[in-house]
Amino acid sequence: MSAPTVLLADDHSAIRAGLRIMLEAHGITVVGEAADGDVAVRNAAALRPDVVLMDLRMPDRDGVSATREIVDRGLGDVLVLTSFDEDELVLGAIRAGAVGFLLKTVDAPTLVQAVRAVAAGDGALDPRVTRRALAAAASGAAPVPPSRAAQPDLTARERRCSTAS
């Protein structure tokens, strides 16, 4: 398997620089960066990364809204990396179609493993939010749509329709 490609979306340039160094040191190719959600969507459309590593709180357009558009348009799988583990943000990201959710306190090996898992079509969920996410899913509050990789021959609209039925 070739190296996964990643787009970094975070409003802090120092965070993006650190993530780039860490990921590239582990053989993951960073193809671009974005400081807000609008740029993340544009760059995802132009660069078609395997994974968009998305912060949720950014100026202008937030990460949840950007995640929804990236997923709906089939531009890449979104792995959320954020400082905030508030239930509404976690569930909002999952409802928007994120296939992974990690907190920024994650260590490098776990982040690298999560990026590789998402690029391979799997998901990744921080253990600190797993119980709440599972409880919400069990209650029907947060349906989790299948990843883009799970339905490679379907358009974004076909994927949305298949999850609605």
Instruction: Label each residue of the chain as H, E or C.
Output: CCCCEEEEECCCHHHHHHHHHHHHHCCCEEEEEECCHHHHHHHHHHHCCCEEEECCCCCCCCHHHHHHHHHHCCCCEEEEEECCCCHHHHHHHHHCCCCEEEECCCCHHHHHHHHHHHHCCCCEECHHHHHHHHHHHHCCCCCCCCCHHHCCCCCHHHHHHHHHC
When pLDDT is averaged across residues 75-86 and rounded to a whole number, the result is: 86
Nearest residue to 46 via CA among 63, 31, 65 = 31
pTM score of the predicted model: 0.79
Res. 159 pLDDT band, cuts 50 70 90: very low
2-6, 109-113, 139-143: range with lowest mean pLDDT: 139-143
Give me the amino acid identity at 136.
Answer: A
Res. 119 pLDDT band, cuts 50 70 90: very high
Q: Which residues contact 95 (CB under 8 A, 6 or more apart)?
A: 142, 143
**Whether residue 164 has pLDDT greater than 60:** no
**Whether residue 152 has pLDDT greater than 60:** no
pLDDT tens per residue, range 18-61: 999 999 999 999 999 999 999 999 999 999 999 999 998 888 88
Give residue 126's pLDDT: 85
Sign of the CA dihedral with 27 first, then 109, 138, and 86 last:
negative
CATH for the 5-164 domain, from 1.10.1200.10, 3.30.70.360, 3.40.50.2300, 1.10.3470.10 = 3.40.50.2300
73-77, 99-103, 156-160: range with lowest mean pLDDT: 156-160
When pLDDT is averaged across residues 134-161 and rounded to a whole number, the result is: 51
Higher local confidence (pLDDT), 10 or 127? 10
Tokens found for residue 36: 């807000």
**Whether residue 150 has pLDDT greater than 50:** no
Nearest residue to 46 via CA among 23, 72, 73, 22 = 73
Instruction: Report domain extents, the chain.
Output: 5-164
Is the Cβ–Cβ distance between 132 and 103 less than 8 Å? no
